[in-house]
């Protein structure tokens, strides 16, 4: 990287980035990757997720440099706020996924369990199975690999030979559809049929 690139301001680098200058992206990465990663890691407490957030944020900056508007403030706070928001979203997704995973696996039932609790757990498991069966094939496949196969999203991508971003989108869409369908099914009295 040349001295001009190293000495350029954030605004100058963004202008060069809009002209598809890879050196400008490299300079911004050198400047902010450690801060973005550290911030994300402090929120999600997972190195792989923090790395994904960092990579995705710089990829988005490369693809859509026009999202940054210098008139609304300096680059560094804007970029770190974007990292913080992504990390919080990832944390919320992980918590939602964990709750859904618990619902998908169902509560364990043995002789000591209350029969009422066992009946409710059985009904909930049946609702989840019906809702899962209604997903399209690709969405059902990633959910089954994640929750029943125990694979990470990265492992699913490798297993299926598709991009990690595609897996993430399918999982997110499937989980949203499952949650919506389960919420509708849980409140049958609100149905207007």
- What distance separates the 2 farthest-apart alpha carbons in the chain? 73
Nearest alpha carbon to residue 51 among 73, 66, 34: 34
How does pLDDT run across 100-130, given as a tens digit for each residue? Answer: 777 666 544 444 455 655 565 566 667 777 7
Q: How far apart are CA 173 and CA 138, in angstroms?
A: 11
Q: What is the pLDDT of residues 3-55, one digit of tens each?
A: 777 789 999 999 999 999 999 999 999 999 999 999 999 999 999 999 999 99
| pTM for the whole structure | 0.54
- Helical pair 10-18 and 22-44, crossing angle rounded to 10 deg: 110
Structural domains of the chain, with CATH: 3-93 (1.10.1740.10), 114-188 (1.10.10.10)
């Amino acid at each position: 990287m040349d001295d001009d690139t190293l000495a350029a301001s954030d605004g100058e680098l963004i202008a060069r980035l809009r002209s598809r200058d890879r050196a400008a992206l490299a300079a911004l990465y050198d400047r902010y990757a450690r801060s973005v990663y550290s911030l994300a890691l402090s929120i999600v407490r997972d190195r792989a997720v923090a790395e994904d957030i960092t990579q995705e944020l710089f990829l988005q900056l490369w693809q859509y440099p026009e999202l940054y508007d210098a008139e609304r403030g300096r680059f560094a706070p804007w970029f770190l706020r974007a990292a913080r928001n992504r990390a919080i979203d990832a944390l919320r997704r992980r918590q939602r996924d964990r709750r859904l995973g618990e619902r998908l696996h169902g509560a364990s039932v043995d002789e000591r369990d209350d029969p009422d609790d066992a009946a409710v757990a059985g009904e909930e498991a049946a609702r989840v199975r019906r809702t899962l069966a209604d997903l399209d094939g690709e969405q059902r496949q990633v959910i089954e690999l994640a929750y029943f196969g125990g694979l990470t999203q990265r492992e699913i991508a490798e297993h299926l030979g598709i991009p990690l971003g595609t897996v993430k989108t399918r999982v997110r869409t499937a989980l949203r559809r499952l949650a919506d369908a389960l919420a509708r099914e849980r409140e049958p009295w609100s149905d207007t049929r």
